[in-house]
Amino acid sequence: MAQPLLAQHPIHPSTTDGTPLRLVRGDGARVFDEAGDDWIDFDNARGSVLLGHGHPSVAEAVGRAARGEYGTTTGWNPSIDSVLDRIQGLCGGQVMGLFRSGTAGVRAAVSAVRKATGKSIVLSSGYHGFDTMWDPADEIFTPNSGGIIDFYYDLPMLRRLLAEHGDSVAAVVVSVEPIYFGQDWFRRLREATAPSGVKVILDEVKSGLRHRPGLFVDDDVLRPDVWTVSKGLANGYPVCAVGGDPDLLAPLAEMTFTSFFEPSVLAAAEETLRLMGTGDIQRGIAENGGRFVEHARDVFTRNDIPIEVAGSGALFQFVCAGPDVEAEFYTATLEEHFVFFQSDHQAPSAGLSGDVLEDACDRFTRVGKKLAHRFTGVPITQKARYIGAWWEMCGLMDVPRSPEETAKWAQLLISEA
C-alpha cells in the first residue's frame, strides 16, 4: 500500500486488514461502498448523524445555503440568532459560544473557566477529544503537563483530590457517559463537589440531545456551571455549543474563527434542532435501537456467545469476554456488512426503522450462527467489563473499590490501552 498523503490518522470504518471502508453514499441507516453494496451504519460518525444520512429536510436546507439563500460566510445572518435561541431553549445557559468541534468546545470551556477563576488545576474524567491537554500524567492522580488530574470517575478519589488541591482547582470537568452512569451518579457528583464550591463543566458532546431534547443530566440532579454539546446539533455538520454562566464564559469573547457564519452549518443545525426539539426523534431511536439490542442479547444467549450489551437502544456497547471473542465477533459483523464502532459505543440513527431494522436483525442472527458455541465456557470476567468500560469512557466502572483497587485498575488499563 502506498504511503498515504494524509498526515492524520482519523478514526474510520475499516475492513479486517485495516483498509479503509470507502463509502460513497448514504441513505438513512444504510451506507454504500464503491461496489454498490449496502452496509447498516451503527457508527454514524461516532453518533453525530442522529437523523440518518442524507436526511431530506436537512439536505434541502443545506442546498438553499449553498445557493446563497441562507446568508453568507462574510457576516451576521438571521440564522445565527435562530440557532442560538433553539439551543438555549433546549439546553439552557445564559450565554453560549459556538465552535467547529466538540474537542475545540471543551478546550475553550476549560480555558475560559481557568481564566475567569484565576485557578489552574482541572480535575477531569472521561474522553474530551484528541487534544494534548488531556495527555496522561507520568503518575496517576497527579497533574499532567497541562495541569489536568484524571480521577477516572472514582468519586472517593475526586473528594481526596479536592481536599488536596481545592484552593487551586478551577473546575471539575466530566464527560457524560449514559451507558455507564445514570442520574444517581451525577447526584453523588454534586454531593462531592458542593462543599468546595468548585465549578462543574459537563461535557455532553456525545450525549446531549441524543436521549431527549436537552441535556442528559437533569437540572434538579446537577445544574452545571458550564456545559458543552456537539454531536446532536447538526446531523454530522461541524458545530459545538458551549453554554453557561456569563462571568465564567466571558473569556470566550475573542474566540472566533473565519467560518463562524458559514451558512450550510447553520442551516443544518437549525433544521436538526427543529426536529430534535420535539423529542419524537429520540423516542424513535430509543424504541427501534432497543428492539435491536434485545435481539442482539437474545442472539448471544441462544448461541452461547460470551458477549454482553451494555447501555440502551439510544447508545450501547458490546462487551466481549476477551480479545479472541472480540476479533471473531467484529470479523463476522463485517462479513454481514455492519458498520460498528469497534470496541466502543454504537449509536443508532433515526434511519434504523422498518425494513432496515428487520434487515439488521436478520443479519445479526447470521452473525450469531457463525459464532455459535465457539466459546462455550469462556466467562465474561470483571476485567473484561472494566476493559469494555475503559474503551467507552477512558474511566472506571461505578462499583465499590478501595483506593488501592482504584489505583490498580487505573494503572492496569492505562498500560493495556
The pLDDT of residue 179: 98
Give the architecture-level CATH label for domain 56-276: 3-Layer(aba) Sandwich (3.40)
Other C-beta atoms within 10 Å of 306: how many? 21
Size of the chain, expressed as the number of residues it contains: 417
> CB within 8 A of 144, min separation 6: which ones?
134, 135, 136, 137, 138
Ranges for all domains in the chain classified under CATH 3.90.1150.10: 23-48+280-371
pLDDT, tens only, 16-72: 788 889 999 999 999 999 999 999 999 999 999 999 999 999 999 999 999 999 999
> CB within 8 A of 223, min separation 6: which ones?
none
Q: What is the mean pLDDT of residues 119-148?
A: 96
Calpha distance 109→133 (Å, rounded): 13
The gap from C-alpha 67 to its chain's centroid, in whole angstroms, comes to: 32
Ranges for all domains in the chain classified under CATH 3.40.640.10: 56-276
Q: What is the mean pLDDT of residues 219-244?
A: 97
pLDDT, tens only, 348-357: 999 999 999 9
DSSP state of 194: G
Calpha distance 294→270 (Å, rounded): 34
According to DSSP, the β-strands at 315-320 and 345-346 are antiparallel
pLDDT at 1 over 60: no
| Structure confidence at residue 166 as a pLDDT band (50, 70, 90) | confident
Q: What is the grid cell recorded at 200?
A: 462543574
Higher pLDDT pick, 340 / 8? 340
Query: How high is the mean pLDDT of the chain?
Result: 96
Q: What is the grid cell recorded at 66?
A: 449553498
pLDDT, tens only, 77-103: 999 999 999 999 999 999 999 999 999
According to DSSP, the β-strands at 226-229 and 240-244 are antiparallel
Q: What is the grid cell recorded at 119?
A: 485557578
Give the architecture-level CATH label for domain 23-48+280-371: Alpha-Beta Complex (3.90)
Q: What is the mean pLDDT of residues 360-372?
A: 98
Other C-beta atoms within 10 Å of 360: how many? 24
| Structure confidence at residue 2 as a pLDDT band (50, 70, 90) | low
Give the global pTM: 0.96
Q: Which runs of E-coded beta strand occur in 105-225?
A: 121-125, 148-150, 169-175, 199-204
Burial of 217 (0-12, 13-18, 19+ CB in 10 A): buried
- 123 sits in the region (left: phi over 0; alpha: psi -120 to 50; else beta) called beta
Q: What is the mean pLDDT of residues 224-239?
A: 98
Calpha distance 187→18 (Å, rounded): 42
HSE-CB for 314 with a 13 A CA cutoff: 20
The pLDDT of residue 95: 98
Percent of the chain with pLDDT over 70: 99
Calpha distance 378→251 (Å, rounded): 54
The pLDDT of residue 173: 98
User: Quick one: CA dihedral 347, 291, 23, 58, positive or negative?
Assistant: negative
Percent of the chain with pLDDT over 90: 94
Question: Which value, to the nearest 10 degrees, does the dihedral of the CA atoms of residues 286, 288, 291, 292 take?
Answer: -100
pLDDT at 248 over 70: yes
Q: Where are the alpha helices (DSSP H) in 125-211?
A: 155-165, 183-193
Calpha distance 71→80 (Å, rounded): 10
pLDDT at 234 over 70: yes
The pLDDT of residue 15: 83
- Let me know: does 222 contact 200? Beta carbons within 8 Å: yes
